Structure 1
């Protein structure tokens, strides 16, 4: 049997004229229209791919029995965009942590664009800032703008350009499909001056994106603070209590300063994501109040949304004479939104949320081994469910938030479980080489290194190819790892770094 594969992922393997001439029957399994002009006069059977997946043996038996001589061919016209001249594409990728998804999605878009013969440049907005930045001329010349971002990114540069917005996950896992959608569904972008989209659909998705924007800006503060605190413990677990020592200085930097900024930065950048710069000041103040009232990261999240939407409401609804309009972003909005957020946090939100946080902290610190193991199983499975997606990020944000309450065990379970998918797939390609293709074995080496660094996304190429085997096995390993971490009482103060922390 000879097989021709028509795919945007796998290199084409066309049937030769001799193959077609010698064939007793031609079987076509496709969910799209196939050009059959080559097969006129031959026995042909056509069905959907799902029929093959359901029962390949029965499918072939039916195909041989039901194949009929093809009298009239079906022709397929080339897609308009594919047949047209080379397009100039610019894109931006960004994810909450700014590590794996940002750069892997950028690479996938670049490869797909070049494969189609287009000129493409991708700006990455990662943990080290914007790289490969787009120039004004490149944006002006672009036929299409693709924004693959899980957090808010500034879009005012693209006013009046055709734009398609998606997330890093689809851009990485379904690159060809997303590229097709970009050409088909792109619309002219009109910048309104606000960070969030005006459409109802985007607004529903906005809450998660705003939260992840806050988390992404908070992470460097938490990582730096956690590592500096860990350095202070090198001199002894309680060495920092002795004033004037290096250990005490390190604890002051990490615990007294960096960790003190954690919740204000979270709240400030949630508000920034919602209302742009006018939301930053009320968000920072609200976050500081959440920290001082004991409301913890839950209070910080609440403060960020309260401040952000208060500032946005003022920006959209308050109309002033043209001569006073310039005062809105630097005086009126920060003053009124900060006052409103502060009063709400002190008199309404602070007390109840503080009680919830205290209860949660007491429960986590005093729970028995059975409850701890169950929590480890849940967090571990969540970390491995979607490899950097919303469920993974929710578990991670939960662990990071608890660091502000000096609750360190969940973070250890989360990091240990998050290393499992990439490490596991890397080890699998080494221990069972005959089950993997050469390119997969090479990807396994990179996956192993990424796993050591607590970057779960190294397993994505394997999960995309065989999700029904890879994801459940990763979840099982992650759940076991999380359970063991909680059972052994492991603790971790730095939320990133993997083996190196």
Structure 2
């Protein structure tokens, strides 16, 4: 019997994190091993591993789609994989981890041994997710800043209207003598706009670089993100800055050889300094201008779309959200829409959230209306899917798609495409990138709220109708 500890984490820190944890626990217990899993979810680490847990462990499993700090596992046998690998077959994953785990070397190990361990880790990371993993790490850290900033701006707008940002004007835009009350709402707007949204791009860039180069990449990445804001290149510039900072710092760390007694200067002085210098100069003189032009063109194109073009964009984004329910295609649509919030383009975000809610909602409704088309387990799962759906957790549809992909996936793609297209046609906008129905009551968080609710309901009904058409009654 082996003692196993594990850490699970996904970009949004919600469904995949806990599904992977459950699969690892079940697989380990089936094999007769003891196991403890720390979940690094959206609210932080739950069931954290103690130093004693780690000391006694025979193997450490890291099932994550984001960067997990391995410093506390130095000297332990560690096996790294993705959350999907754990979800698909937890038992096989545990068996493989026991066979293939690699010891994380301490800083005082010989250079050859450290190189061997790092090569093994790099090979496994490349096989796992590569660039996608680094981008999703940045996005996962960015989301709380966008959510907090967007909600604070919405609250300020609710109290002061479009002049929330200016305490020297009334709601009609006429000059007034500022009062403590008007100043308070203007300050609240500043907290959301300059605080939350102001940090959005630096955090995105910083943690992309952190995912690539670990802690030495964080400062160059965040500084590059700030420079992206100065050059007007926005979230696209932040992504470019993060990757430049990360890969340059990683290369420099490997290429720069120093005497052992000077090694400590690399992570705290040499790498952050040179990385920040290079990424900053490149952003100002090479990257900033063309990326700003691309962002401006994208923003202008989105703002100029007519109803027909908006419908097409909505259909594409909606279908992407439902295609793999939290996978790379889903996250590509989501990241595209979140990034546009910084450019004050809110309609794609509304379309994406509507499309992400309808798959689990439509499945939940179908299990209630057409019971004879679903097993008893699926009908029970439908109850949970409803809760996940209203919370904008598309992964609630995964159990159904896994059992019957050829019927379920096309059905939910049609429903999501309809919901997103209607949201775009109705001109609905969303200032915050998550929250489901729980952000809808907040004044000014959603533009055209009534029609937005209609889009979600219609998409849900279309999903349910498609499931009725393609799924046949089960035999007794």
Cα distance in 2 between the residues matched to 1:185 and 1:474: 38
User: Could you say which residue in structure 1 is the equivalent of 2:468?
Assistant: none
- 1:174 alignment partner, one of 86, 89, 111: 89
Write the distance in 1 (CA, Å) between the matches of 2:319 and 2:85.
Answer: 22
Residue 202 (structure 1) aligns with: 125
The 3-state SS of whatever aligns with 1:235 is helix
Does residue 126 (structure 1) correspond to residue 50 (structure 2)? The answer is no
Contact 2:31–2:91 (8 Å) recurs in 1? no
Which of structure 1's runs of 4+ aligned residues deviate more than 6 A? 193-197
Q: How big is the shift at 1:180?
A: 4.1
Q: Distance in 1 between matches of 2:119 and 2:249?
A: 13
Counterparts in 2 of 1:190 and 1:328: CA distance versus 1, 3 Å: closer
- CA contact under 8 A between 2:209 and 2:217: conserved in structure 1? yes
Alignment of 1:184-195 (within 5 A): 184-190=99-105
Residue 248 of structure 1 deviates from its aligned partner by: 2.0
- 2:136 is the alignment partner of 1:212: yes
TM-superposed CA distance for 1:256, in Å, is 2.2
Q: CA deviation at 1:277?
A: 1.5
Distance 1:186 1:161 in 2: 9
List aligned pairs for 1:283-298, cutoff 5 A.
283-298=221-236
Q: CA deviation digits over 1:94-135, x for unaligned, max 9?
A: 001111111121122212322332211111111222221222
Q: Is the 8 A contact 1:222 1:495 kept in 2?
A: yes
Q: What's the secondary structure of 2:78's corresponding residue?
A: strand
Q: Which has the higher contact order (CA 8 A, sep 6+)?
A: 2
In the alignment, structure 2 segments of 5+ residues that lack a partner are 107-113, 168-177, 440-476
Paired with 2:208 and 2:359, the residues of 1 have a C-alpha distance of 30
Cα drift, residue 489 of structure 1: 0.6
Q: Alignment partner of 1:388: what SS?
A: coil
Alignment pair present for 1:157 and 2:72: yes
Specify which of 83, 88, 101 is matched with residue 16 of structure 2: 101
Assess if the C-alpha contact under 8 Å between 1:94 and 1:149 holds in 2: yes
Are positions 1:468 and 2:406 aligned together? yes
Change in Cα spacing, 1:433 to 1:462, as seen in structure 2 (3 Å) is: same
* TM-aligned CA distance change 1:110 to 1:436, over 3 Å: same
Which of 198, 223, 232 is residue 147 of structure 2 equivalent to?
A: 223
Q: Which residue of 2 aligns with 1:25?
A: none
Query: What is the Cα deviation at residue 188 of structure 1?
Result: 4.3
- The aligned residue for residue 435 of structure 1 is 373
Moved more, 118-127 or 186-195: 186-195
Residue in 1 that maps onto 2:300? 362
Q: Can you list the C-alpha shifts for 1:267-305, whole angstroms capped at 9, x where unaligned? A: 011111111221111111100111111111111011011
Counterpart residue number, 2:164: 240
Q: Which residue of 1 aligns with 2:26?
A: 111
Whole-angstrom CA distance in 2 between matches of 1:165 and 1:319: 28
CA contact (8 A) 1:196 1:203 kept: no
Aligned residues: 416
Do the aligned partners of 1:279 and 1:311 also contact (CA within 8 Å) in 2? yes
Which residue in 1 is equivalent to 2:427? 489
Q: TM-score, normalised by structure 2?
A: 0.83
**Secondary structure in structure 2 of the residue aligned to 1:199:** helix
Does the CA-based 8 Å contact 2:3-2:33 persist in structure 1? yes
Q: 1:184 to 1:321 in 2, by over 3 A?
A: closer
Structure 1 distance, partners of 2:311, 2:88, is 33
Q: Distance in 2 between matches of 1:206 and 1:418?
A: 25
- Please give the per-residue CA displacement for 1:339-370, whole angstroms capped at 9, x wherever unaligned: 11110000000011010000000001111211
Inter-partner Cα distance in structure 1 for 2:62 and 2:271? 29
What is the match of residue 290 of structure 2?
352
Q: Displacement, 1:242?
A: 4.0
Query: Considering only CA atoms, is the larger Rg found in Structure 1 or Structure 2?
Result: 1
The residue number in structure 1 matching 2:213 is 275
Match of 1:73 in 2: none
CA distance 1:463–1:483, shift in 2 (3 Å): same
